Amino acid sequence: MEQRATRIALVAWSTLVVLFLWIPLALIMLYAFNKSNVQSWPIPAFTTHWFRAAWTSEVRTSLWLSVRVGLIATGIALVLGSAAAFGVDRFRFFGREAVSFLLVLPIALPGIVTGIALNSAFVAGNINLSLWTIVVGHATFCVVIVYNNVLARLRRSSPSLIEASQDLGADGWQTFRFVIWPVLSTALVAGGLLAFALSFDEVIVTTFTAGSQNTIPLLILGYIRLGQQLPVVNVIAFAMIVLTALPVLLAQRLMRDTGVLRRTAGNVTEAVESAQITAV
């Protein structure tokens, strides 16, 4: 056990680090109520006016684009990511290590490399930048998120569950419906939520695959660079912090409660594993 002084020092340090993480987030939520166009401190007066004023057609168009891209990319990621996770977990084959290494490349390599690689491929192939080119860019790292979530779950489940189900006379569909799905469903939902959150927030790859279209992050980036519409940016910031909190908390709960495989020891590790994956 640690000495008293060490413990006090650890508590103090931890408190400071958590405050360091949270004070900026609290501040931006305050700025959303800033009456002035000038974003200085202290905030001179408060208003809720900007919440209505922020609902411009530009914001609506970008929001709609971001939602569509996020949903399509997440859908692709769920199918391809879980298929890859099953393949890598259940089969031993030549080059398996290489495959699992390749699949995490999009999150291990700097985002700008992925971005300009896709961009130059689109230019070389005479492909016009559209909704679909953004989707392709996002899908590369969304697949990795789902893949990692599903793989973490499969590694904790026993293949003998499936064998037992087949021995008891279940066909493939029944095995999937009554054995695999209950084990996997929460990991899929969690992976999907995180993939969507990531896609919704992505800037670096998107700049190279969007052309003249604006997703929500690209719109904000433009506003901040030009120093325009900052009250609108503040309101979007407020909304985005609140809205990302919900799916993340939900995903967190889902990864903890594994139903069939309720095991206390593995839970924290799985949560850590699934949480530390990103592309940004």
Partner 1 sequence: MATSLDSAQGLSRRPPGRPARAARLRVSGLFWRHRWAKALLLLAPPLLAFVLVYLASLVALFVSSFWTVNPLTTEIQHVWNVDNYTQLWNSSVFRVVTLRTVGIAAAVTLTDAILAFPLGYFMARVAGGRSRAFIFVAVLLPLWSSYLIRVYIWRLILDDKGVLNWTLQKVGLPAANIGYSNWAVWLIFAYVWLPFMILPVYGALERIPESYVEASRDLGAGGFTTFRRVVLPLALPGVVAGSIFTFSLTLGDYVTPLLAGGASSQFIGNVVYDQIGSGDVPSAAAFAVVPLAVMGIYLLIARKLGAFEAL
Query: What does the alpha-carbon distance between residue 203 and residue 105 come to, in Å, rounded to a whole number?
Result: 18
| Residue 39 in contact with partner 1, rule: CB under 8 A | yes
45 counts as binding partner 1 under rule CB under 8 A: no
Number of residues that bind partner 1 (CB under 8 A): 98
Report if residue 127 touches partner 1, rule: CB under 8 A.
no
Site string for partner 1, 148-177 (x = CB under 8 A): ---------------x--xx-x-xxxxx--
118, 183, 190, 195: residue in contact with partner 1 (rule CB under 8 A):
118
CB of residue 55 to partner 1, shortest distance in Å: 18
Residue from 103, 187, 210, 254 that binds partner 1 (CB under 8 A)?
A: 103
Question: Which of 37, 42, 45, 57: binder of partner 1 (CB under 8 A)?
Answer: 42
- Considering only residues 260 to 279 of the shown chain, the ones binding partner 1 according to CB under 8 A are 268-269, 271-273, 275-276, 278
Looking at 50, 65, 111, 188, which residue binds partner 1 (CB under 8 A)? 111
The one among 72, 145, 180, 194 contacting partner 1 by CB under 8 A? 194
Give the contacts of 54 (CB within 8 A, at least 6 positions apart). 231, 232, 235, 236
Q: Which of residues 5-24 bind partner 1 (CB under 8 A)?
A: 6-7, 9-11, 13-14, 17-18, 20-22, 24
| Shortest CB 167 distance to partner 1, Å | 6
The closest alpha carbon to 227, from 33, 61, 38, belongs to 38
Instruction: Judge residue 125's burial from the number of C-beta atoms within 10 Å of its C-beta, 0-12 exposed, 13-18 middle, 19 or more buried.
Output: exposed
The residue within the footprint of partner 1, chosen from 46, 64, 99, 263 (CB under 8 A), is 99
Q: Which of residues 65-94 bind partner 1 (CB under 8 A)?
A: 79-81, 83-84, 86-88, 90-91, 93
Cβ atoms of 122 and 209 closer than 8 Å: yes
Kindly report the CA angle at 56 between 192 and 64, in degrees rounded to 5?
25
